[in-house]
Chains A and B, each alone.
Chain A
Amino acid sequence: MNDIIFKIGGAFLTAILAFTVGMFYAGLRRKITARVQNRVGPPIYQNFLDLLKLQSKRTNVAHGFMGHMAPIWIIIAAMTVLMFIPILQNNLWFENLTLKGDLIFLLYMMVFGSLGMALGAGQTGNPNSAIGVSRGLSQMVGFEIPFVMALVALMLQFKTTSIADLMHFQFTSGHWIILENPFAFLAALLSSLGMFRYSPFDIVGAPAELASGPMSEFGGKYLGTMMTGGAVFAFIKLVLFVDLFLGGAGNNSVEGIMGTGLGLLELLLKTFLFYMIPVFVGLVSPRYRTEQAIQFFWKWPSVFGILAILWALYKNGTLL
């Protein structure tokens, strides 16, 4: 019974945590961007105000059924994925659903959100949205390949499809996977740039080209909900990377609430550091064209992906 309470309570806490951290990180990103650009920038909680404002819009126009559904679809997808991500290691509250094969499940679910967006955008009839969706899907094809390769390498190397197992391995062995299989990390890192859709891979919503792409026709509540989904997804990606490559969080031996706190602190630190990579790259890069972006992913990340698989095979002895 306790188990269930922890699970349900944990789910709530996870959701709140993901939302808050995701939104704060977005605010932080704007602040850092501003500083690099020699200016003051908005307050760090700016995104909360934006969200509140969007939600308080008095009219909200939607285009058809999918128009309504797309944001919901995204938020559902985000929450679903979130539930399968272990936030903290060995913590009753933040373990969430762990099951064998959740890595594979995640691979599918993470596309799910984009799909909802694609359907919703398709129904608006705005050509910018249509082109944006087609670009988004193309780009996804691009970055998913190295990303999947990296994950496959991990699966092969550690002979597991469970994130929890990977975290456990890093905890017990004390070796982070970033060192165990650096090629997998590199492949995943480079494809993560694409996942975050910051420059140079912001080709989906590229303002100067497609207004804001698939989001063109969404405003008010819809846009607010999508923003929430986006923030949660950003958190998911960060935590996933930390879990997979940076040893996860919560690897401390302190008991009780203090342990949870320390774990969360560790998580924030790691995710923040990791988050800075796409942010900084985004700050200094112009945008790729679609085919250049795909070329990019199919070039170096894919090479790293193949190397990662070979490395994994070498490591677990299959290759030799």
Chain B
Amino acid sequence: MIREQETTLYLGPQHPGITGNMMVKLKVKGDTVIKAETHVGYLHRAFEKLIENRNWLQSFTLLCRFCVPEPDPMELTYARAVEQLEGREVPERAKYIRTIVSELARIQSFLLWYGGQSGSSGLYTLGQWSVGDRNYILDLFEDLTGARIYHMYMWPGGVRRDLPEGWIDKAYKTMDYLEKRLTDYNQLLFDNAIFQKRAQGVGIIPKDKAIEWGVVGAPLRGTGIKHDVRIDEPYEAYDQLKFVVPTYEGGDVWARALVRRDEIKQSISIIRQALDKLPGGSYYNRIPNPMKWTVPAGEAWVKTESVRGEIGFYVVSDGSNKPRRVHLKGAAYAHGVSVLEKILPGQNIADVSFILNSLGVCPPEIER
């Protein structure tokens, strides 16, 4: 373009276009990125170190803070890992409630993503709508779990409290409302010629390299590869519910956006099915006194499909009342560093924030 000399541009940590608190150091020639480097650590709280001082139950309150926009998959994965180590059974009702909660979490996170994806391209109206409507999901969470963001609800053995009275009706109503609103969103975003123009052909992840690069979740399905932990290794009640995993070819921001658009619909359908089929019975298989609760020695590697893709917890127990090691593999761990550094060169700087949002880079997941 006009100035063809190389400059270094720091995208973040204080920058409206960055997701969370991280930094992408860009070498820029004109408007084109020639080299990108991710710098993280601004949100490093040393969770995995702190867990050394906390017992199995206390860790659970800490772990949901790994990634702020979606604490529930973290809780769920940790709970499942501990259950696997202990061989603890989860009541059927708890499985359904967990499924509902994780899908609600998926929807709320996607609504936030709508805001991020459109906001990073300057379409603030959609963000105002979707993030505003996200509050209705958070209201559901509040009724169910007692908190808006950090629910701390799915703990080893089941869930913490049963569904409150009238919650199921409220959930149905919210789903109906959201479905109506989704058409509005899609008209504004996906039918928008300018958005199509912006999103198509940007930030392409090659299909043949995607798995090897460690791409997971919507970005992987955006390349046309159908992998989803909910199908590969079904957990909770997913094997009893009908749903489709959407895939789109292309591997660009547009394909990823379409995948997410379809997934939100699938989530609504899963929630409806789960609410229909919700079994009765107990919701919580009581754990022993938390201060003296020991978990048999062993290791567990448990995966869950979070909003941004597959996350896993590697949990090691040495038989004491504290975990030996709880190591999170977040979806953003590969996305935010190696994948980002590979696909950013050659892109326009206008698209950096756009791509960051479409990959769902969540820095606290990288540095923890």
Contacts and interface: CB of A to CB of B under 8 A. Distances in A.
Interface in A260-299: 283-292
Interface in B336-359: 348-354
B2 A137 contact: yes
Contact of A134 (B2, B9, B350, B353): B2
Contact of B128 (A37, A200, A209, A286): A37
B13 to A, nearest CB: 12
Contacts of A211: 15-17
Nearest to B31: A290
A210 B188 CA distance: 24
B279 to A, nearest CB: 38
B195 interface: yes
A312 interface: no
B350 A290 contact: yes
B118 interface: yes
With a 10 A CB-CB cut-off, give which of B7, B16, B122, B129 has the most chain A CB atoms: B122
Interface in A125-143: 127-128, 130-131, 134-135, 137-138
A206 interface: yes
B123 A285 contact: yes
B1 interface: yes
A287 B2 contact: no
B132 interface: yes
A36 interface: yes
A208 B122 contact: yes
Nearest to A207: B16
Contacts of B129: 37-38
- What does DSSP make chain A's interface, helix, strand, loop or mixed? helix
B17 A284 contact: no
B194 A209 contact: no
A209 B352 contact: yes
Nearest to B15: A211
Range of interface residues on B (Cβ < 8 Å): 35 or more
B188 A284 contact: yes
Contacts of A130: 3, 7
Interface residues of A, number: 33
B119 A208 contact: yes
A278 to B, nearest CB: 14
Given A130-B3, A285-B192, A286-B192, A206 B350 contact: yes
Contact of A131 (B10, B28, B123): B28
Contacts of A203: 350
B348 A286 contact: no
A36 B129 CA distance: 9
B186 interface: no
Nearest to B198: A286
B125 A287 contact: no
A192 interface: no
A131 B31 contact: yes
Contact of B350 (A127, A209, A283, A284): A209
A199 interface: yes
B197 A292 contact: yes
A33 B120 CA distance: 18
Nearest to B195: A286
B17 A289 contact: no
A275 B351 CA distance: 29
Interface string B188-215: 1000101101100000000000000000
Contacts of A137: 2
Interface string B110-140: 0000000011111111001100100000000
B8 interface: yes
Given A37-B128, A286-B198, A290-B31, A200 B3 contact: no
A229 B188 CA distance: 33
A39 interface: yes
Interface string A77-111: 00000000000000000000000000000000000
Interface string B215-250: 000000000000000000000000000000000000
A37 B348 contact: no
A284 B349 contact: no
A37 B125 contact: yes
Contacts of B195: 286
B121 A286 contact: yes
A208 B124 CA distance: 11
Nearest to B128: A37
A171 B84 CA distance: 84
Contact of B192 (A36, A134, A284): A284
9 contacts: A130-B3, A134-B3, A199-B122, A203-B350, A284-B123, A287-B122, A289-B198, A290-B348, A291-B1
